[in-house]
Structure 1
Amino acid sequence: MGSWALALVLGSLAVAAVHGSEPWLNATHVYSINANSGGGGNGVFVGLTLIQSAAAKGAVCLDGSLPGYHLHKGFGSGANSWLVNLEGGGWCNDVKSCVFRKSSRRGSSNYMEKQLQFTGIMSNRPEENPDFYNWNRVKVRYCDGGSFTGEGADASSGLYFRGQRIWQAAMDDLMAQGMQYANQVLILPQLTMLSLAFGKQFYVYLTQLNSTRPFFLDALLVDVDVSGQREMRDFFNGIVRLQGSGSTLPRSCTSRMDKTSCFFPQNVVPNIQTPTFILNTAYDVWQLQQSVAPKKADPQGQWHGCRMNHASCSGSQLQFLQGFRNEMLDAVRGFSGSRQNGIFINSCFAHCQSERQDTWYAKDSPSLGNKRIAEAVGDWFFERGDAKYTDCAYPCDGTCHHLVFRGDY
């Protein structure tokens, strides 16, 4: 990316169900793992740092507790390089679901893990993360329920919607930790968190870092489900209204369409000027569960088996999912034509491929064009190759680590 680089990688969310429950998954290779686990990595365990200055700024989690992050300092050639990972984890769209959420790690630092293992793109081991292992790697915890976009509160229920302030407080603190001296930065926003790339405060930080550019993006969201309804649109509309997100979503989008539409990444992507890499599966299992074929859209349970295991999908269901894949590819066609952007869309029934060691960089990791995900991202960032990979349709890819759900979800 040149002598100074800031890039955006948009990759798969480590999300649970909308109301915070955690699915247990096992890959169809030999893995039996949690959706948010490291997938077999040996990375370092990193402690939680609470942002002490956040309270004075009103930058608090849903329950009013302090936000935080996990930072593992870089060393050697990576001492002045930074990788900032904004955690994902679903949303809450009404008072009831937000009250439920604030009694979990997704809404309160009181329930957050005191340590997290850094694996995949966060690993400190060169054999697990060859290009970024010695960078300053930080994971900003997600506890606002609105993808760091909220600006408001609900006093009667004791809820704080301060996602935008949390983002700003985290950036301020990381600047003081040395990021102000960075010579290259890779930001990993998740889904609608990419709206941060267009916020006023983001450009203030870029100015401080002497740059106007780059990023890493994930999951484009389907707007219509199997019943023909727009449940995700209704859900996102609740978030935007409840949390006051409209004022923080990118003006480049809200000036041409309604605010709820701007919560969908595909409506923001066309205006991104920063070099960006999209990492996504063509058949994201979270989307299959929550936006393509959610229970509400499937009252007769015809999609239940398919939701739990792709091998149980009927021919007509697979045809529907192929249409979903085609919509995704159409949405990123213009994006992928830009020389500065990279893309890796594989035809796997999977989720969260960048922080899982088995999918990021392992001997049998998913690959396209003989490139594993880590290699494709590294080639893009360091300009070692074109880094544009789009898979053929399922079931052509034999390198996938498909995920199968155990228990209802």
Structure 2
Amino acid sequence: STPVLYSLELTPVCNNRCRGCSNVFAEARVARTVPPPLGAAEWGVILDHIAPYAEQLKLTGGEPTLHPEFEAIVRRVSDLGLNFTLFTNARWPDPERLVHFLADVPQCVGLLVSLHGPTAPVHEAFTGVPGSFEETVANIRLATSAGLLVATSTVITRQSHDRIAETVTLAADLGADHAVVSRYLGEPLPDVEPTLGELLTAVHTIEELRRSGARVRYGDCIPQCFVENSSTGCLAGVAYCAIDPWGNLRPCNHSPTVAGSLLNQPVETLWHSAAMEQWRSLIPAACHTCTEFPRCHGGCRALAELRPERRDPLVGAPLAQARPPERLRLYEGLRPVRRYRIRREDFGYVLMRGNRIAPLPFEDEPILEACDGQTTLRQIERRFGQHGLSLVAALYRKGLLELEPAA
């Protein structure tokens, strides 16, 4: 009924010059035609509007820390008790001050730092700023040393597609909790965007790293009809939205669609607006017949707006047979424990924990009630059969349940 995950683009200003910038206002920024962003007071009004619905925020930009009232905005977020991650390039004017400030904000649950390669030439081929690699690396190390949870964010490019393993290793060496790797999403950019073969190389590397136990995740969807992989579908327009530097609600950071201003209309109205419904319809008809559609969601709808093909270029023919699920061995004496917040919707329930979301029908409520820390997996199987075990396994993989041994 309303989004639960919000990406707040605090400012269009950035001190990198990334050739593959995902901001839809990047060209206007270069041309110096963008208006100034909202101030802390106006962001406070928007935060008051979305606070009743928000499970987690992402503070981004541009480079969010360059907003002149960044600390005031963070304090407002903290006062409302809203957990947030900071998506940043870690090129901060005063690194020591910023790290100390964030370490004292309990609602700051982590930093997502752009790291686009394992060396300066690879990283700076994307950022466009000499010296940015050393600065980013030094500040990742500073943040992790201060106890902040850091993940790195890497875009697969022509320059980095065969350096993913090295980049993931560097992230771990710097103390990052995990690495996030994303495909390039934007208008055609041949010098930056990898070829299909190069993207396949990167995906195969990520899958090998995951099988070996490396802490690496996908940041966006790789359609299963392109190549079998462990990514999941995008929640944009379903549970997630972006709010631009001027208070406009958009489906996601990559989409130019504007639903309207949150300074003038409530989030419920904008979320169900004609613009949002039109955006949600940007899924190839054939995708609805694919066995992997519940997992993939039809690829990237923002690309359907930005690309001449009017669809995600990775989307191919629908799959007639679902991929076999990853096998998970569970001891029958384990007891599932709920680790989520729950919201009732017209269709059923939404389980939420940070940016992890799972919709469930009303019929599954008895299984959820059995995840009480007392009932064993064996007992769940006896009561609910294979469906009960499969649901527990799916929620465990999403981090919405934990499994505790018998007392």
Same fold (TM over 0.5): no
Q: Which has the larger radius of gyration?
A: 2
- Under a length normalisation based on structure 2, what TM-score does the superposition of the two structures give? 0.36
- Under a length normalisation based on structure 1, what TM-score does the superposition of the two structures give? 0.35
Higher relative contact order, chain-length normalized (CA < 8 Å, sep 6+): 1
